Structures are given as C-alpha cells and as structure tokens.
Structure 1
Amino acid sequence: MSVLDKLKGMLKGHEDQAAQGIDKAGDFVDGKTQGKYESQVDTAQEKLKEQLGDEGRGQDSPPR
C-alpha cells in the first residue's frame, strides 16, 4: 500500500475539507512568493486534488 493510498483512506469522506486545505496552502505560497509562481501553484493544486479524488468537483472534467 502506497503513501498516497493511505492518505486517500484517511481523507475518505472529508474530500471537501482536503480541497479547502489545498486551496489554503496554495494561497499561502502565492502570498509568500507575491504571486510569482501562481500558475505553477495552481497546476500543483489541481494535480493534488485529482490524486486525492476531488477531480471534477465544481468544474467540468472530461470523461475517462
């Protein structure tokens, strides 16, 4: 069992809270870097949300 699988198990049922935490962390990084890496931070946030099972919430995602 990988670390990511363990995280997914711990976060099961709390996906919304995890997504909020990811957004908050991204906003913190943007603030500290004065928005210099905003596009990279946004990409990382999206990828992390996808990995944690929050894909497609609040936005249209292509079918798999």
Structure 2
Amino acid sequence: MSFLDKAKDFIDKHDEQVDQALEKVGDQIDNRTGGKYRQHIDKAVDEAQRRTGAGDTRP
C-alpha cells in the first residue's frame, strides 16, 4: 500500500477528526492574517472538508 493509499484510508476512517483539524488550521491562518482573508480561508476549508468525504462537521 502506497503512502497516498494509506493517507486516503486514514482520512476515510477519521473524517470527523480531519475536518476538525482543517477547521483549526483555517482559524490559525485567519488569526495570523488578522481576518483579512477570512472569506477565502473559509471557502478553502469548506472545499477541503467536502473533499474528505461524508461526515463533514460543517453544513
């Protein structure tokens, strides 16, 4: 099993935790940029969460 396959398997098994981590990363970036790019960061986090599959933590 390749690294990429292992990563996909991990994401599938731990989608909720991955979504929470993405949210925290987005919040950190937003804080470091002073909220200047909040709309773009939120959109990127939402898209990343959507791509990780079912079980997304944000509507």
TM over 0.5, yes or no?
A: yes
Structure 2 unaligned spans of 5+ = none
Q: CA deviation at 1:58?
A: 4.8
User: 4+ residue runs of structure 1 moved beyond 6 angstroms?
Assistant: none
Q: In terms of mean alpha carbon deviation, does 49-58 or 22-31 score higher? A: 49-58
Q: Does 1:21 align with 2:21?
A: yes
- Is 1:11 aligned with 2:11? yes
Percent sequence identity over aligned pairs: 30
One-letter code of the match for 1:49? Q
Paired positions, count: 57
Using CA pairs under 8 Å that are at least 6 residues apart, name the structure with larger relative contact order, 1 or 2: 2
Q: 1:8, 1:53 within 8 Å by CA — same for their partners in 2?
A: no
Task: Give the TM-score normalised by the residue count of structure 1.
Answer: 0.72
